[in-house]
Structure 1
Amino acid sequence: MSEMHEKPARVTAGVTFAARLAFEGIGHRFTPHQATLHDVTLTAEPGEVLCLLGPSGSGKTTLLRIAAGIETQSAGRVLLNDREIAGPSVFLPPEQRSIGLVFQDFALFPHLTILDNVRFGLTALSREEARGEAMIALERVGLARYAGAYPHVLSGGEQQRVALARALAPRPAVLLMDEPFSGLDSRLKDTVRAETLAILRQSRATAIVVTHDAEEAMRLGDRIALLRHGRLVQVGTAEELYLHPADLFVAGFFSELNLLDARVRGGAADTPLGRFPAPGRNDGEPVTVAIRLSGFDVAEAGEGVAARILSRRFLGVVELLDLAVEGCDEHLRARIRRGQLPPGVRDISLNVNRSDVLVFERRRESA
């Protein structure tokens, strides 16, 4: 089993021509009373890595399966370079779509060699042509030396790269990846994600990656599409979704938050931690003030809002504080740099970074 930190070899052959994949008004139902997708309109641009992000049951994988042709939508159309491939009167089967799919469990055949796994779908080519294309794909992911080996001798990260090579071998216009890193050891994920992103850039395929991990989406995606209950909530870059979330659900998906109920007075929300701008809100309007855990400057008791440390957890680079603040019904949490406060201190003062405060309409339910 080789070291996962070894960088895969790079080849320049075998690139594809990236395509635009568009979903127009996609709806989907498993039963007449169970809608899984509601009017989803979304486009992956040529050569883009688009991440579909959301909690379990949000419709991410269903949308991916509709693109692949494994599921059929109940409304709307799927277009590849403006050509309809699935709609009311058109349905191209999966093998005619030029769309590759990497499954969550890699789905390698244990009885086939790595080379035979990769060339499995190249049925339109002669045996020698298929072998050549498969070797190019294996070289691209740095595993050509394992062509004659079997999947069980490879690490999880290497098996993931074989699955990626198999999907890239036919040179698809679009590559779909369903939670491709969920089965990997957490220590390997960063390395394998970085390798995968480099391979996607080099192959030039448009890629749509499903994940439930916001940090993973931020690491991989040129843009992120966040879904909830089968609806598209917000689409944008990682910066756009983090800094300018459309609602409390989006904000909470990208940051751990302290939530304070407040009312607007004179264009600002009054809280026990201070007044925070609430542009566009009416006086007397109930709002929820969200403060990121990283949004506190802390010091020994002095200037600022008085707080008492109830618990203090060492997490390596950071410490997690559980705090009591007068006027707050619930405890607050803060993430601070390790060593920022002396050991044993209990009474501290807080100052809030305004850039880490977001004001939304009053929360009605848990996100």
Structure 2
Amino acid sequence: MASAPAKAPPRAGVTFAAELTFEGVHLHYGPVHTLKGISLTVNAGEILCLLGPSGSGKTSLLRVAAGLERQTSGRVLMNGREVAGPGRFVPPEKRSVGLMFQDFALFPHMTVSQNIRFGLTDMATAVAAGEAKAAIDRVGLGHHAGSYPDVLSGGEQQRVALARALAPRPSVMLMDEPFSGLDTRLKDSVRAETLAILREMRATTIVVTHDAEEAMRLGDRIALLDAGRIVQTGTAEDIYHAPANLFVAGFFAELNVFDARVGGGAVDTPLGRFPATGFDDGAKLTVAVRTAGVDASAYRGGPTPAGTVLGRITARRFLGVTEQLWLAVEGATAPVRARIRAGELARDARDVMISVRPGDILLFESASESA
């Protein structure tokens, strides 16, 4: 007798997504100027990743959106309605905002069901119980409804925190480094499950992260912050292929960086001569070459093909799917790094021919670092 098909998890309740806008937001903590004129719109139903190094202002902007911090100046709007500005401040509980922090912030003395029902106090008891059960089942923890957080794994606690934040069906979901406490193998599966639930809910979502790969996996768009300012906003493809400056390029890929000056419409580097279209002769440039765009093949003597230079392997590390190479190249003051597919180069290879893929060469004016 054929077995019954597996029962699909219940679908998450759809929320009424709101457009979230920051207009010229500044934030000071005493003399420290944390946010410096942030202007950004998150479209209704969009997942936007706030990306940047520690101290760039990501969490501060999230707290301003939630109403946990009041900006020094500027405005925050939801669907064009001011929720924080010179003449109005709507408290967090009135903003229809869901919050999820990196430490999950579960109440240890409450069961999973009680944790999720905590944010449903405006509902009748029976309705709240039904919403909580639906949220628990949707994240696959129905068997843990009566358990306490201390018996759950990190991934299970993360799912409880997500269910609690989404149970009231917020118009805007704010997530602060929600996967940072999970190990690498668990992170991938929990991240995929979370993304699927967010898509079903269709809530406007901001996810704070310092991990560029995570931002590319999750976000419809990415806003990259540095020192309290937005450096670049766009899709992962847009930012990766056309970074605004060297900082942005370095945040999305490992780079080899050289100084060069334009001559005859090109620049000379230790890795070869590259076209410098759009730059004037004599302009001083920073040339960045992604390590993933550097290819190396064994050199067995004789003339080298056009577009290649010679190098010598000084170190190599096996990384599973890829290998990292460190190469001594004439004219380079530091080892050139290459990331190649594992097994492409014989283990006894020492001297190599190096070539660079044109799409992995980035040119920036040295003075302004503008592309």
Match of 2:213 among 187, 212, 215: 215
Q: Is 2:102 the counterpart of 1:77? A: no
User: How far apart, in 2, do the equivalents of 1:196 and 1:308 lie?
Assistant: 45
Partner of 2:330: 326
Aligned pairs (5 A) from 1:101-116? 101-116=99-114
* 1:10 CA displacement: 2.9
User: How far apart, in 1, do the equivalents of 2:201 and 2:133 lie?
Assistant: 14
Q: Is 2:343 the counterpart of 1:345? A: no
* 1:171 CA displacement: 0.7
Q: CA deviation digits over 1:75-111, x for unaligned, max 9? A: 1100001100000110000000000100110000111
Q: Is the 8 A contact 2:285 2:365 kept in 1?
A: yes
The amino acid of 1:10's aligned partner reads P
Partner of 1:121: 119
User: What is the TM-score with the length of structure 2 in the denominator?
Assistant: 0.94
Distance change >3 Å, CA 225–CA 45, structure 1 → 2: same
The amino acid of 1:26's aligned partner reads V
Match of 1:99 among 97, 100, 110: 97
Partner of 1:236: 234
Q: Equivalent residue of 1:188, what SS? A: helix
User: How far apart, in 2, do the equivalents of 1:17 and 1:364 lie?
Assistant: 43
* 1:126 CA displacement: 1.9
* 1:9 CA displacement: 5.2
User: How far apart, in 1, do the equivalents of 2:134 and 2:363 lie?
Assistant: 52
Partner of 1:51: 49
Partner of 1:4: none
Q: Is the 8 A contact 2:12 2:200 kept in 1?
A: no
Partner of 1:300: 298
Q: Equivalent residue of 2:230, what SS? A: strand
* 1:272 CA displacement: 2.2
Distance change >3 Å, CA 80–CA 263, structure 1 → 2: same
Distance change >3 Å, CA 230–CA 270, structure 1 → 2: same
Partner of 1:28: 27
Partner of 2:3: none
User: How far apart, in 2, do the equivalents of 1:158 and 1:13 lie?
Assistant: 18
Distance change >3 Å, CA 10–CA 18, structure 1 → 2: farther
Match of 2:358 among 345, 354, 363: 354
* 1:145 CA displacement: 2.1
Q: Is the 8 A contact 1:8 1:142 kept in 2?
A: no
Aligned pairs (5 A) from 1:112-151? 112-151=110-149
Distance change >3 Å, CA 141–CA 181, structure 1 → 2: same
Q: Equivalent residue of 2:86, what SS? A: coil
The amino acid of 2:204's aligned partner reads T
User: How far apart, in 2, do the equivalents of 1:66 and 1:277 lie?
Assistant: 45
Shifted more, 223-232 versus 282-291: the winner is: 282-291
User: How far apart, in 2, do the equivalents of 1:278 and 1:36 lie?
Assistant: 37
User: How far apart, in 1, do the equivalents of 2:366 and 2:160 lie?
Assistant: 48
Q: CA deviation digits over 1:140-182, x for unaligned, max 9? A: 2121221111112211111111001000111100000000001
Instruction: Provide structure 1 residue ranges, at least 5 long, that are not aligned to the other structure.
Output: 1-6
Match of 1:281 among 271, 279, 284: 279
User: How far apart, in 2, do the equivalents of 1:61 and 1:122 lie?
Assistant: 25
Q: Equivalent residue of 2:173, what SS? A: strand
User: How far apart, in 2, do the equivalents of 1:140 and 1:52 lie?
Assistant: 26
Q: Is 2:199 the counterpart of 1:195? A: no
* 1:120 CA displacement: 0.3
The amino acid of 2:18's aligned partner reads A
The amino acid of 1:92's aligned partner reads V
Q: Equivalent residue of 1:77, what SS? A: strand
Partner of 1:314: 318
Number of residue equivalences = 358
User: How far apart, in 2, do the equivalents of 1:326 and 1:191 lie?
Assistant: 45
User: What is the TM-score with the length of structure 1 in the denominator?
Assistant: 0.95
Identity over aligned residues, as a percent?
A: 64
Match of 1:67 among 65, 68, 83: 65
User: How far apart, in 1, do the equivalents of 2:40 and 2:89 lie?
Assistant: 19
Q: Is the 8 A contact 1:9 1:139 kept in 2?
A: no
Q: Equivalent residue of 1:265, what SS? A: coil
* 1:214 CA displacement: 0.2
User: How far apart, in 2, do the equivalents of 1:207 and 1:153 lie?
Assistant: 29
* 1:186 CA displacement: 1.5
Q: Is the 8 A contact 1:9 1:142 kept in 2?
A: no
**Superposition RMSD on alpha carbons, in Å?**
1.5
Q: Is the 8 A contact 1:312 1:319 kept in 2?
A: yes
Distance change >3 Å, CA 9–CA 57, structure 1 → 2: farther
The amino acid of 1:11's aligned partner reads P
Q: Is the 8 A contact 1:9 1:140 kept in 2?
A: no
Partner of 1:270: 268
